[in-house]
């Protein structure tokens, strides 16, 4: 037996608290979830769980013989995979000595009485005890549906306040045992601080959502509020229930956003509003939202609801679907956004050691890539699980060799450049064919993506270098073979072919006439700037001077799509679909497109304006 893992958690998620009433031994029962892996399959063990404060236990645990105090163990048998899952109900029987910390602890013994493993959570880190002067109870009976005929037994309930915080939890009573508390199937009594509760989430004891109850209940201090007989509304969005098609688009193109809405109850539900909201990774507020009202959903059935949306600019978007308090998420990549970290150099066809890549921080702010991932050849691995700071304008290297071997091969690498060794774990970069390499942050957003084929790849032993970190990653003309003579690669320093291209003056064009009936008939706006980094305002005015659409409002240059012209200049592109800021199609007529760009480095400002005519297909 080895590598035993025990996970101890309270089903109240964020509170894990229990209210201590005036009468000792009558505190609110709370439930501890115990998950164990790495045991011998089909083997008997003893499990003990209790709350304690020096020098003794301060809790009782529910057993087949009722509430028992002290350090009580119960036997269990592991499953075929050597795992065990259980819910233990405890209650506090006396307040802890304020001089000492208090804990919830779980211990596992084998049949000889030897302790194999134990785990504990400290009160300030996982749970707290609340005196009745500061807290109270919310109690009632939960049923399966509106008929109130079948109680929901052995079911997890979470109560949430108006901000969505989980304030307490409970495992509803069943009628299999005499617990001496409530003793009614479906009964619950949840201890929590005195506050206002606006919803109760309901899950089965495997964590599957069953629904929610919406209301508003003020929990008084020092007493209980009985909310009577309740049942969940049964509206849920299952895992994977929000999805987009296609998974990536360019600005101005349409994407279908689909939500699967389940009614797990028996009753038909009518007039159900479904809200979709879209937020770009670097923005704090939603860029757009769509609400669709579903006429009805039959009991124990589901429906798919689809909205069509056209993003106006590049970016990584978080797509959220909401039905009441049920919610689901997915992500959408639009165009070729540039973020703080980019893939800057790739050794995909090495002659010494193994594959490697270099990432660069293109900003003036240090970036921690702890928990970020690398995807290549369809495989995903953690880059690092430890703190790894890439300094401003700095580099880090991810390699398939040992760090000391890599530094020896490329002897000039400075000590402050992180060399992250994934020896034996780095996915193959397919140096003789094609591949897609992605850098993924802790929120699951694709921070950078490079798609290359065999025509991009230089000679064996020569790295593939990026010309500019401020030009889109998937432009072939932004990549080339390293020309450094000694090492034929430049990990940890400026690329040998690095260059910055800027025109001398502002160059600005847009479509003279457009009819937004399809993606290729939108208003295309293109411009070249006399500086590399700027903040852009791109407004559309009507003929009387009113702003009808803010395409960009002080956004950085990286908010646009990119290309490189035959002279090596960066061409920024935006697409306007003829709609105003309210999302409605504007009337036919002449519009003025105004561009203002302010340099980040010198504050120099350039401006330009063009006219475009919106027409409509009258057929």
CA R_g for the chain: 30
Q: Return the pLDDT at 555.
A: 83
* Backbone dihedral angles phi then psi of residue 126, each to the nearest 5 degrees: -135, -20
Residue 28 has pLDDT above 90, yes or no: no
Joined together, the tokens standing for residue 610 give 């063009």
Residue 267 has pLDDT above 60, yes or no: yes
Residue 19 has pLDDT above 70, yes or no: no
Rounded to whole angstroms, what are the CA distances from 371 to 171, 280, 281, 441, 508? 34, 21, 17, 7, 41
Give the model's confidence band at 178: pLDDT under 50 very low, under 70 low, under 90 confident, else very high: very low
Joined together, the tokens standing for residue 490 give 């430049």
Give the model's confidence band at 619: pLDDT under 50 very low, under 70 low, under 90 confident, else very high: low
Q: Is the peptide bond before 532 cis (omega within 30 degrees of 0)?
A: no
Closest CA to 561 of 232, 311, 274: 311
Higher pLDDT, 356 or 238: 356
Other Cβ atoms within 10 Å of 108 Cβ, number = 23
Give the model's confidence band at 25: pLDDT under 50 very low, under 70 low, under 90 confident, else very high: very low
Q: What is the pLDDT of residues 492-526, one digit of tens each?
A: 999 988 876 556 678 899 999 999 877 678 899 99
Q: What is the mean pLDDT of residues 157-172?
A: 78
List the domains of the chain with CATH numbers: 5-131 (2.60.40.2550), 135-233 (2.60.40.1120), 236-334 (2.60.40.10), 341-481 (2.60.40.1260), 507-614 (2.60.40.4070)
CA angle (174, 175, 176) in 5-degree steps: 95
Q: Which residues contact 543 (CB under 8 A, 6 or more apart)?
A: 589, 590, 591, 592
Q: Return the pLDDT at 235.
A: 80
Residue 16 has pLDDT above 50, yes or no: no
What gap in Å lies between CA 222 and CA 63, rounded to an integer? 29
* Backbone dihedral angles phi then psi of residue 502, each to the nearest 5 degrees: -145, 135
Which residues sit opposite 297 in a β-bridge? 269
Q: Which residues contact 500 (CB under 8 A, 6 or more apart)?
A: 468, 470, 532
Other Cβ atoms within 10 Å of 4 Cβ, number = 15
What gap in Å lies between CA 563 and CA 429, rounded to an integer? 25
What gap in Å lies between CA 560 and CA 528, rounded to an integer? 12
What gap in Å lies between CA 577 and CA 441, rounded to an integer? 31
pLDDT-wise least confident of 243-257, 355-369, 502-516, 538-552: 502-516
pTM of the predicted protein model? 0.50
What gap in Å lies between CA 258 and CA 303, rounded to an integer? 10
Counting Cβ atoms within 10 Å, is residue 119 exposed (0-12), middle (13-18) or buried (19+)?
A: middle
Q: Is the peptide bond before 246 cis (omega within 30 degrees of 0)?
A: yes
What gap in Å lies between CA 498 and CA 494, rounded to an integer? 7
Q: Return the pLDDT at 109.
A: 92
Strands 269-280 and 242-245: unpaired
What gap in Å lies between CA 97 and CA 391, rounded to an integer? 48
């Amino acid at each position: 037996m080895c590598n035993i893992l025990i996970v101890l958690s309270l089903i109240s998620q964020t509170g894990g608290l229990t209210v201590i009433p005036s009468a000792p031994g009558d505190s609110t029962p709370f439930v501890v979830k115990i998950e164990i892996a790495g045991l011998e399959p089909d083997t008997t063990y003893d499990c003990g769980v209790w709350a304690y404060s020096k020098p003794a236990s301060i809790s009782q645990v529910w057993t087949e013989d009722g509430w028992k105090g002290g350090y009580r163990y119960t036997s269990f048998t592991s499953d075929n995979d050597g795992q065990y899952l259980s819910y233990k109900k405890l209650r506090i029987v006396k307040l802890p000595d304020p001089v000492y910390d208090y804990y919830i602890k779980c211990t596992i013994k084998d049949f000889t009485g030897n302790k194999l493993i134990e785990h504990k959570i400290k009160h300030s880190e996982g749970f707290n005890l609340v005196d009745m002067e500061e807290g109270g109870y919310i109690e009632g009976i939960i049923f399966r549906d509106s008929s109130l005929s079948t109680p929901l037994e052995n079911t997890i309930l979470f109560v949430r306040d108006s901000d969505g915080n989980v304030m307490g939890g409970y495992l509803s009573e069943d009628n299999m045992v005499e617990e001496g508390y409530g003793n009614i199937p479906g009964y619950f009594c949840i201890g929590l601080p005195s506050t206002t509760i606006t919803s109760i989430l309901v899950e089965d004891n495997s964590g599957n959502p069953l629904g929610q109850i919406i209301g508003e209940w003020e929990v008084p201090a020092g007493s209980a509020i009985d909310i009577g007989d309740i049942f969940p509304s049964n509206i849920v969005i299952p895992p994977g229930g929000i999805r987009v098609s296609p998974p990536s688009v360019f600005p101005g193109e349409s994407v279908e956003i689909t939500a699967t809405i389940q009614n797990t109850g028996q009753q038909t539900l009518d007039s159900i509003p479904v809200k979709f909201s879209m937020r770009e990774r670097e923005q704090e507020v939603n860029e757009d939202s769509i609400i669709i009202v579903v006429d009805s959903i039959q009991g124990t059935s589901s429906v798919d609801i689809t909205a069509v949306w056209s993003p106006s600019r590049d970016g990584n978007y978080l797509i959220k679907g909401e039905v009441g308090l049920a919610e689901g998420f997915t992500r959408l990549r639009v165009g070729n956004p540039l973020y703080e970290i980019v893939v800057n150099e790739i050794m995909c066809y090495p002659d010494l050691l193994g594959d490697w890549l270099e990432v660069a921080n293109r900003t003036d702010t240090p970036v921690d890539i702890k928990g970020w991932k690398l995807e290549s050849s369809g495989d995903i691995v953690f880059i690092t699980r430890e703190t790894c700071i890439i300094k401003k304008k700095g580099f880090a290297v991810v390699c398939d060799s040992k760090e000391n071997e890599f530094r020896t091969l490329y002897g000039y690498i400075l000590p402050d450049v992180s060399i992250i060794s994934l020896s034996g774990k780095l996915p193959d970069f397919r140096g003789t064919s094609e591949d897609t390499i992605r850098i993924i942050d802790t929120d699951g957003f694709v921070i950078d993506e490079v798609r290359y084929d065999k025509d991009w790849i230089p000679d064996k032993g020569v790295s593939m270098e990026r010309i500019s970190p401020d030009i889109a990653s998937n432009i072939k003309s932004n990549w080339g073979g390293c020309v450094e003579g000694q090492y034929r690669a430049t990990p940890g320093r400026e690329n040998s072919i690095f260059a910055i291209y800027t025109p001398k003056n502002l160059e600005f064009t847009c479509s003279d006439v457009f009819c937004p009936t399809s993606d290729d008939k939108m208003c295309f706006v293109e411009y070249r700037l006399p500086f590399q980094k700027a903040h852009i305002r791109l407004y559309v005015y009507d003929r009387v001077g009113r702003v009808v659409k803010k395409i960009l409002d002080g956004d950085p240059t990286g908010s646009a799509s990119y290309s490189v012209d035959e002279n090596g200049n960066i061409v920024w592109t935006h697409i306007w679909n003829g709609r105003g800021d309210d999302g409605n199609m504007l009337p036919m007529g002449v519009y003025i497109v105004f561009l203002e760009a302010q340099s980040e480095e010198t504050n120099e400002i350039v401006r330009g304006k063009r006219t475009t005519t919106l027409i409509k297909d009258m057929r």
